[in-house]
Amino acid sequence: MTLSSRTVRIDAFGGPENLKLVELPVGEPGPGEIRIRHHAVGLNFIDVYQRTGLYPNALPLALGMEGAGVVEAVGEGVGHLAVGDRAAYASMPPGSYCERRVMPARCVVRLPEAIPFETGAAMMLKGLTVQYLLRQTQPQGGLQAGDAILFHAAAGGVGLIACQWARAMGLQLIATAGSDAKCQLALEHGASHAINYRTEDFVARVKAITSGRGVKAVYDSVGADTFMRSLDCLQPFGLLASYGNASGKVSPVDIGLLAAKGSLYVTRPTLFTHIATLERTQAMADDLFSMVTTGAVSVRIDQRYPLDQVAQAHRDLEARATTGCSVLLP
């Protein structure tokens, strides 16, 4: 019997109207692969970049990079997963907006019993991102309890996990967000201060909060609208991790500016370098699972959509109308 899967894909780059639900056959996993039946699928801003073509991929393209479900079949050479296991992943290549898929096993880890499927689907890409940002993308000398950092878009999926993770590390996370209600949410999740960057000058506020010193690190996923001003929030030797472009791509920068502003460091990291091997993925996932199962981080799912409402999910995300995480239910 040939299995099939309702799958969301695009045939051309463009708006949410290009997202099409199609029925595709799904085969058996080859060597190093598994087949997973999804219980829930995570929605991420990177899916928007892939839909519009900002991050280029070959067409037609099945979208989605995060999911959780049950392993249905295991290919040759896969030792860490068995049929029937609860599992979750953040993956490259994309293709999680579907009922079931065949995919590389090295992206997939077992999901602890204590973590529901929806939570697993919502948190893998976002939570592993926070893991590598706060634990592995640190300024010279590292981050210590009491240090101040600035985290933009702090009421979003990645953002609310970061607020809680930073609190658990004893950091003072200064949040920015696009409304007073979102600022309140960031504060409730562990931010020490919150700035509405649509109505307030965040550079001036960061300077005031830090008594003129600035922060040791800025984590900036907003991109074009904030990049240059993020540099102005840093102490000498500070680090700007520019890890996203929700407002558009960052323009080329004159590297001499980094000297003028105090020997600054800038990095443009991606999760996919950090989870390039199963060993790295498992170690980072173990850290994330421990943060979640001990209650240090709770994963807030504020939006749920049936798979056939995926276009609305994209519209809401791009309109800045969401908070926390969103999941699609196949």
Which tokens go with 176?
């920015």
244 near ligand NDP, judged by CB under 6 A = yes
75 near ligand NDP, judged by CB under 6 A = no
Between CA 205 and CA 222 the distance in angstroms is 18
Between CA 9 and CA 14 the distance in angstroms is 12
89 near ligand NDP, judged by CB under 6 A = no
Q: Is 268 left (phi over 0), alpha (psi -120 to 50) or beta?
A: beta
The CB density around residue 286, as the number of other CB atoms within 10 Å, is 13
64 near ligand NDP, judged by CB under 6 A = no
Site for ligand NDP in 142-171 (CB under 6 A): 153, 155-159
The residue from 34, 36, 46, 73 that contacts ligand NDP (CB under 6 A) is: 46
CB-based burial label for 144 (10 Å; 0-12, 13-18, 19+) = exposed
Total residues contacting ligand NDP (rule CB under 6 A)? Answer: 29
| Direct distance between the N- and C-terminal alpha carbons of the chain, in angstroms, rounded to an integer | 21
The residue from 117, 165, 227, 243 that contacts ligand NDP (CB under 6 A) is: 243
Between CA 48 and CA 43 the distance in angstroms is 9
Site for ligand NDP in 171-200 (CB under 6 A): 177-178, 182
Cα dihedral across residues 42, 301, 205, 151: positive or negative:
negative
Whichever of 232 and 302 has its CB closer to ligand NDP, that residue is 302
299 near ligand NDP, judged by CB under 6 A = no
Task: Give the x-and-dash track for 96-135 against ligand NDP (CB under 6 A).
Answer: -----------------------------xx--x------
Q: What's the min distance (Å) between Cβ of 281 and ligand NDP?
A: 13
Whichever of 68 and 271 has its CB closer to ligand NDP, that residue is 271
Place of tokens 């099945």: 62
DSSP 15-82: SGGG-EEEEEEE----TTEEEEEEEEEEE-HHHHHHHHTSS---SSEE---EEEEEEEEE-TT--S--
320 near ligand NDP, judged by CB under 6 A = yes
Between CA 1 and CA 43 the distance in angstroms is 31
205 near ligand NDP, judged by CB under 6 A = no
Whichever of 100 and 300 has its CB closer to ligand NDP, that residue is 300
247 near ligand NDP, judged by CB under 6 A = yes
**Site residues (CB under 6 A) for ligand NDP?**
44-46, 125-126, 129, 153, 155-159, 177-178, 182, 221-222, 225, 243-244, 246-247, 269-271, 317-318, 320, 322
